[in-house]
């Protein structure tokens, strides 16, 4: 015999099944007979007491209520809800149905009737309290379609006025219940409203907890190899969210990412590296690279990870790595410790930027971010950095099976115009820097930089263009102006240009080479 305190009033307080002792209902029979149940339902039908009906649903066994769920819904509809709203009754019914199953043929009707009432609740807090109860019933007995519909309704109710900020515990409970019943992540992430539902967790600590829950379920249940891009992209989003959280310890990120990679690799032996393993490795790198203390180790690993992702056609992952690297560049200090000694970081930074730009050449633009957005981000960083005192129809190299921008844009005039503007801006900044070096009495550095830019124009510039050809001559003269340019290097360069000028396709260089003169040291 079990007891549960409830308040019971009205003419049925002395019913044989409801013996009142100090406002306590004593269940004399754990399994009421069908005849008694029929009489009980008949009495409630006459009473229309919402309070009494709620007391009975809370007091009787869930199996008793679930077996008669349709009858109880009929009584709820007929109840007088003065002082006791009907959505409270559906909340009590939902708690019983979370513990026991109703007849199979009645499940859809029950869900529809309950949600008709719940969705009309105006108070966001009342709404989410009862929606949370019925999510479990929906997940247990229905497919992703019905769960997706429920999630959409919750987003609709909880987004206005940021009502979700006062309901994080209930929203987290909803996620936990979904994860309890949906272990197939291809199904889970194919729900259109699942990730938008996660976006309501805007408090950093709550977002982190939810992401951890998802990752733990993934590690436990994703035991087979997957090539589903929906799963892989969604898990990368989860990893990135955890990576961006300031409250997630580095060692925990490292440990969890290792577990993710191990979980994805489970399954039958394989000889080739599968996309799922590559995606898992990308996720592992993305959340562990920030833990490295050396900033150039972080930059180089971001770039290396991007190159590996790009070589395996994982374009969104490559884009994420490159974007992260651009974000780290402003943190580069003026000096770094090398073998126990402080050295200028400029040479290391220049090496990295050269490698970075070489990679960007073959990276296709992200459709949502516009033309050359990564190049622009890099140039913005370079422009803001305080330093110490022409195009071909196709790129010089490419990645197999990856179409770079010269293929994607196909010589589109707007694309070429953007490239020309960027080149003009970049060359203009270099020339301004050359002028500044002359004012700072840095003639040797000015000479070296001018000669380097001359070499770039000679190798890649279209010197048939008179302006570009004149710029090359001016740079040559500037590099030799103060006698700091190495004579042997100048002589070899001139001989090389003369040799190229004898070739039919580079005969135009003969005009340029005639204007290049050697100047002796003074």
- Which residues make Cβ contacts (< 8 Å) with residue 293, sequence separation at least 6? none
Instruction: Report whether 155 contacts 191 (CB < 8 A).
Output: no
Spatial CA neighbour of 320 closest among 292, 291, 293, 287: 287
Q: Work out the number of other CB atoms within 10 angstroms of the CB of residue 246.
A: 7
Q: How far apart are CA 429 and CA 440, in angstroms?
A: 17
- Per-residue exposure over 186-225, b if at least 16 CB sit within 10 Å of its own CB, e if not: eebbebebbeebbebbeeeebbbbbbbebbebbbeebeee
**Per-residue pLDDT, 385:** 66
SS3 49: strand
Beta strands in 325-460 (DSSP E): 335-338, 341-344
Q: How far apart are CA 308 and CA 18, in angstroms?
A: 72
Instruction: Report whether 450 contacts 431 (CB < 8 A).
Output: no
Spatial CA neighbour of 93 closest among 126, 151, 53: 53
Query: What tokens were used for 419?
Result: 């490239």
Can you give the pTM of this predicted structure?
0.46
Q: How far apart are CA 104 and CA 459, in angstroms?
A: 76
Q: How far apart are CA 465 and CA 470, in angstroms?
A: 9
**Per-residue pLDDT, 436:** 84
SS3 344: strand
CA 54-56-59 angle, to 5 degrees, is: 110
SS3 440: coil
Q: Where would I find the H helices in 28-68?
A: 34-47, 50-59, 62-67
Q: Mean pLDDT per segment of 10 residues, for the chain of length 522 residues?
A: 36 35 36 49 58 82 88 81 76 87 90 88 90 90 92 94 93 94 89 91 88 86 73 78 57 47 42 59 80 86 89 86 89 81 81 88 80 84 65 76 82 82 86 81 83 85 82 87 80 85 80 77 48
- φ, ψ (nearest 5 deg) of residue 453: -70, -35
Instruction: Please count the helices (runs of H) and the strands (runs of E) in the chain.
Output: 25, 5
Spatial CA neighbour of 153 closest among 188, 114, 100, 186: 114
Spatial CA neighbour of 114 closest among 125, 95, 37, 174: 95
Q: How far apart are CA 126 and CA 365, in angstroms?
A: 47
CA dist list (Å): 187 to 143, 184, 234, 291, 444:
9, 5, 12, 33, 65
Q: How far apart are CA 214 and CA 127, in angstroms?
A: 25
Name all contacts of 113-120 with Cβ < 8 Å and 24+ positions apart. Answer: 113/73, 114/73, 114/90, 115/150, 115/153, 117/86, 117/87, 117/90, 118/87, 118/90, 119/153, 119/157
Residue where the block lists tokens 């069908």 = 34
SS3 372: coil
The residue count for the chain: 522
Distance of CA 132 to the CA centre of its chain: 26
Q: Where would I find the H helices in 199-273?
A: 204-221, 229-244, 250-265
- Which residues make Cβ contacts (< 8 Å) with residue 289, sequence separation at least 6? 298, 301, 302, 305, 324
Distance of CA 476 to the CA centre of its chain: 49
Instruction: Report whether 437 contacts 389 (CB < 8 A).
Output: yes
């Amino acid at each position: 015999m079990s007891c549960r305190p409830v308040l019971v009033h009205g003419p049925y307080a002395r019913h044989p099944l409801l013996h009142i002792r100090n406002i306590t209902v004593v269940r004399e029979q754990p399994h009421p007979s069908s005849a008694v149940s029929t009489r009980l339902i008949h009495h409630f039908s006459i009473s229309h007491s919402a309070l009494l009906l709620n007391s009975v649903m809370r007091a009787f066994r869930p199996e008793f209520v679930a077996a008669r769920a349709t009858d109880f819904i009929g009584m709820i509809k007929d109840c007088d809800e003065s002082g006791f709203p009907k959505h409270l009754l559906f909340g009590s019914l939902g708690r019983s149905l979370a513990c026991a199953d109703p007849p199979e043929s009645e499940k859809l009707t029950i869900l529809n009737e309950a949600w008709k009432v719940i969705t009309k609740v105006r108070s966001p807090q009342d709404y989410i309290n009862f929606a949370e109860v019925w999510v479990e019933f929906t997940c247990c007995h229905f497919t992703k379609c019905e769960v997706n519909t429920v999630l959409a309704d919750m987003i609709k109710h909880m987004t206005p006025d940021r009502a979700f900020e006062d309901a994080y515990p209930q929203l987290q409970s909803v996620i936990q219940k979904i994860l309890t019943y949906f272990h197939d992540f291809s199904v889970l992430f194919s729900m259109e409203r699942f990730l938008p539902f996660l976006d309501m967790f805007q408090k950093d600590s709550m977002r982190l907890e939810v992401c951890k829950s998802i990752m733990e379920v993934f590690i436990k249940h994703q035991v087979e190899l997957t090539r589903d891009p929906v799963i892989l992209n969604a898990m990368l989003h989860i990893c990135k969210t955890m990576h961006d959280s300031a409250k997630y310890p580095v060692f925990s990120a490292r440990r969890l990412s290792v577990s993710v990679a191990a979980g994805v690799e489970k399954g039958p032996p394989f000889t080739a590296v599968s996309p799922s393993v590559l995606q898992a490795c990308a996720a592992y790198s993305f959340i562990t690279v920030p833990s490295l203390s050396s900033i150039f180790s972080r930059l180089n690993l971001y770039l290396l990870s991007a190159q590996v992702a790009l070589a395996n056609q994982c374009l969104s992952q490559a884009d994420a790595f490159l974007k992260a690297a651009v974000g780290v560049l402003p943190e580069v200090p003026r000096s770094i410790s090398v073998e126990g000694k402080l050295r200028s970081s400029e040479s290391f930074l220049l090496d990295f930027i050269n490698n970075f730009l070489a990679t960007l050449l073959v990276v296709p633009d992200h459709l949502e971010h516009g033309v050359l957005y990564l190049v622009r981000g890099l140039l913005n960083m370079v422009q803001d950095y305080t330093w110490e005192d022409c195009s071909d129809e196709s790129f010089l190299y490419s990645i197999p099976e990856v179409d770079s921008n010269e293929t994607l844009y196909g010589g589109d005039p707007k694309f070429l115009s953007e490239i020309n503007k960027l080149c003009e801006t970049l060359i203009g900044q270099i020339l301004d820097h050359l002028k500044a070096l002359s004012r700072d009495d840095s003639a040797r550095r000015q000479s070296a930089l001018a000669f380097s830019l001359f070499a770039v124009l000679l190798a890649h510039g279209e010197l048939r263009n008179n302006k570009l050809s004149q710029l090359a001559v001016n740079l040559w003269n500037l590099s030799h102006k103060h006698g700091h340019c190495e004579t042997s290097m100048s002589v070899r360069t001139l001989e090389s240009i003369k040799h190229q000028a004898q070739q039919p396709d580079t005969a135009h260089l003969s005009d340029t080479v005639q204007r290049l003169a050697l100047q002796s040291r003074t």
